[in-house]
Amino acid sequence: MAKMFKTEKTILVVDDDPMIGDIISKIFKKKFNFSCHVCYNGLEAVKYIESHLPDLILLDVNMPIMNGYEACEKIRQNTRTNLVPIIFITAFDKMDDKVKGFNAGVDDYLVKPFDMRELEVRVVSLLARVEKFIEVSSKDELTGLYNRRYFQDILYHEIKIHMRQNVELSLSMIDIDFFKKVNDTYGHLVGDFILKSFSEKMANFFRKSDILGRFGGEEFILAFPHTNSQLAKWKIEALREEISKEIFVYDEKTKINFTFSAGVSELKKNGETLESLTEAADKSLYLAKNQGRNRVIIAEENKNE
């Protein structure tokens, strides 16, 4: 089967009937290569999504400990999961039940017993719409990188996971040196070309697991999961050297060489926030600019400056 989606999809099946969870998981894995995880009550599902973000949730209503209505409301109250699509799968078929479900925040409603083909169509259709929406709303229009808001949402989640697991995470703020001169000398079309070319270079240079976004203007932000600040600096230094030697050709008459500066910070302790991590990287970037540009500085190396 041809690949239907740009990213791999994960479905969370929440049903106290093990047979239903098993059947759904096997069929979606075989036909669409979706990853599936099964929880057997609403409370288990709510705890699961604290550290996992499914692309879609199939949620039974009548379950022990926490029913589907309560679980749906909890999921919608979580800012990280409030847009994850939810389909109720339930034997409750009265109009009042459906209204209660939609009021709780469900996106679709399927009554048991159901035809598996109908479930497949509903799931695939909903996932396709969500993927398109995320692509449009999460990306910077010019560079194709994550926009600032969406990057911050991702990083907020990454910080929570890394603190819980006590693993390393580093952040870098990157700024193209003297970018205003490029716009003033060659015009904004050439400036846009440089921003796009630099973005493509970074996207191809770093790991797929590294998270790259445009912070604004000629400034970029980059997160390195499972990476300390020294290793992050080494990676950025390698890119910096490569960029400083490259000539970017806009046309026969316009050939540009540029450099960039970067600041790096590392997640060190519990209680550290997205804001404090970003501020530390930004201060280090400011020092790199003041010390002559075309360099990378780590926050921890400059605490007394």
CATH number at residue 89: 3.40.50.2300
Under the phi-then-psi rule, with left for phi > 0, alpha for psi from -120 to 50, and beta for the rest, what region is 21? alpha
Whether residues 79 and 155 fall in one domain: no
Examine residue 201 and state whether it is found in any structural domain, yes or no: yes
- What are the residues whose beta carbons fall under 8 Å from the beta carbon of 192, sequence distance 6 or more? 142
> Are residue 170 and residue 259 in the same domain, yes or no?
yes
pLDDT band, residue 46 (cuts 50/70/90): very high
d(C-alpha 169, C-alpha 200), whole Å: 23
Tell me how far the alpha carbon of residue 96 is from its chain's centroid: 37
Do residue 129 and residue 164 come from a single domain?
A: no
Helix (H) or strand (E) holding 263: strand 260-266
How much is the average pLDDT of 23-51?
91
Q: Residue 19 CB: number of other CB atoms within 10 A? A: 8
* Residue 2 pLDDT exceeds 70: no
In this structure, are 272 and 158 located in the same domain?
yes
- On the 0-12 / 13-18 / 19+ scale of CB atoms within 10 A, 113 is exposed
Q: Using CB atoms within 10 A of its CB, is residue 5 exposed (0-12), middle (13-18) or buried (19+)?
A: middle
**End position of a domain, from candidates 138, 164, 198:** 138
Query: What is the tally of structural domains in the chain?
Result: 2
Q: 152 and 131 in one domain? A: no
* 54 within some domain: yes
Q: Which of 253, 251, 198 is nearest to 220 (CA)?
A: 198
Cα 44 from Cα 49, distance rounded (Å): 9
Catalytic residue among 73, 131, 218, 301: 218
Put simply, whether the predicted model's pTM sits higher than 0.75 gets the answer no
67 located within any domain: yes
Note the pLDDT tens digit of each residue in 257-303.
Answer: 999 999 999 988 766 788 999 999 999 999 999 999 999 999 876 65
Report the pLDDT averaged over residues 170-180.
96
- Cα separation, 48 vs 54, in Å, equals 10
> What per-residue confidence (pLDDT) applies to 100?
86
192, 108: one domain: no
Which of 138, 165, 195 is the last residue in one of the domains? Answer: 138
**Least-confidence region, from 22-36, 176-190, 194-208, 211-225:** 22-36
Residue 91 included in any domain = yes
Question: Residue 176: which pLDDT band, with cuts at 50, 70 and 90?
Answer: very high
**1 falls in which pLDDT band (50, 70, 90)?**
very low
Establish if 180 belongs to a structural domain: yes
Residue 1: inside a domain, yes or no?
Answer: no
Task: For residues 73 and 188, state if they share a domain.
Answer: no
Least confident of 101-115, 215-229, 237-251: 101-115
pLDDT reported for residue 216: 92
- The alpha carbon dihedral of 148, 3, 29, 21 has a sign of positive
* Claim to verify: residue 118 and residue 180 sit in the same structural domain: no
pLDDT digits (tens, 9 = 90+) for 104-128: 888 998 888 888 899 999 999 999 9
Domain span including residue 269: 148-302
Is 218 annotated in the active site?
yes
Per-residue pLDDT tens digits for 242-261: 999 999 999 999 999 999 99
Q: Is residue 156 part of a domain?
A: yes
2 lies in a domain?
no
Q: Model confidence at 181, in pLDDT bands (50, 70, 90)?
A: very high
31 and 64: one domain? yes
| 114 and 198 fall within a common domain | no
